[in-house]
């Protein structure tokens, strides 16, 4: 009854159970955190704006992104993946999301940042609809936990417009 195997089995089962409970509680504790991030984005320059030979509009922007995401870090946060997407509607598509810049924030100390950058990924439309187009810039973040459930949210910044002419 109380053989070595029996005791080892009981000990292993018990430790795995405790570990699972601790992981679950760690993940659940994230729900008590209400992050209040802030962000501001300026389009400093339209570097160039043209129609590609295949008929799709492409634009290159210089952006100034500043954000404070410190409030979303908890003890269960491994990293925060943050990206800035241009979002707009065209006659053919009811939603276009084009990621312009992204970054990985490894710790709370790096979560208050300021960056001056051109778009990291190509801002290309499906078609030729970008002239004079109003668009939103949305800062999305995905919180990757040490264990458990992943969280995501966003800040939508409105009122950006592309020029009427190619340049």
Partner 1 sequence: MGWIGESVDSIKSLQFRQVLTQVVSLGMIVTSALIIWKGLMCFTGSESPVVVVLSGSMEPGFKRGDILFLHMSKDPIRAGEIVVFNVDGREIPIVHRVIKVHERKDTGEVDVLTKGDNNFGDDRLLYAHGQLWLNRHHIMGRAVGFLPYVGWVTIIMTEKPIIKYILIGALGLLVVTAKD
Chain residues that interact with partner 1, rule: CB under 8 A: 5, 23, 27, 78-79, 81, 83, 85, 91-99, 102, 104, 106, 121, 126, 140, 142, 144-150, 152
- Going by DSSP bridges, is the β-strand pair 134-145/151-161 parallel, antiparallel, or unpaired? antiparallel
User: Which residue, 62 or 99, is less far from partner 1 as judged by CB?
Assistant: 99
User: Which residue, 50 or 93, is less far from partner 1 as judged by CB?
Assistant: 93
Q: How far is the CB of 97 from partner 1 (least distance, A)?
A: 4
Nearest one of 133, 65, 144 to 106, comparing CA atoms: 144
CA gap 82, 80 in Å, rounded:
6
Q: How far is the CB of 106 from partner 1 (least distance, A)?
A: 7
The CA-based diameter of the chain, rounded to the nearest angstrom, is 85
User: Which residue, 113 or 121, is less far from partner 1 as judged by CB?
Assistant: 121
Q: How far is the CB of 42 from partner 1 (least distance, A)?
A: 21
Sign of CA pseudo-dihedral 69, 72, 78, 83: negative
Q: How far is the CB of 25 from partner 1 (least distance, A)?
A: 14
- Look up residue 112 and give its two tokens: 């208050």
Q: Please say whether the beta carbons of 36 and 71 come within 8 A.
A: yes
- Coil vs helix vs strand at 24: helix
User: Which residue, 64 or 99, is less far from partner 1 as judged by CB?
Assistant: 99
User: Which residue, 2 or 165, is less far from partner 1 as judged by CB?
Assistant: 2
Q: Please say whether the beta carbons of 86 and 98 come within 8 A.
A: yes
Q: How far is the CB of 100 from partner 1 (least distance, A)?
A: 10
């Amino acid at each position: 009854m109380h053989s070595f195997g029996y005791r080892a089995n009981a000990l292993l089962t018990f430790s795995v159970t405790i570990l699972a409970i601790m992981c679950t509680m760690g993940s659940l504790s994230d729900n008590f955190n209400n992050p209040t991030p802030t962000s501001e984005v300026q389009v400093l320059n339209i570097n160039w704006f043209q129609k590609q030979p295949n008929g799709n509009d492409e634009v290159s922007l210089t952006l100034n992104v500043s954000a404070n995401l410190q409030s979303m870090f908890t003890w269960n946060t491994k990293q925060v993946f943050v990206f800035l997407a241009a979002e707009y509607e065209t006659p053919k598509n009811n939603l276009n999301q084009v990621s312009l810049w992204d970054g990985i924030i490894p710790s709370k100390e790096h979560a208050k940042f300021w960056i001056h950058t051109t778009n990291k990924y190509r801002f290309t439309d499906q078609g030729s609809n970008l002239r004079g187009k109003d668009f939103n810039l949305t800062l999305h973040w995905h919180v990757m936990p040490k264990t458990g459930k992943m969280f995501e949210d966003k800040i939508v910044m409105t009122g950006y417009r592309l020029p009427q002419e190619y340049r």
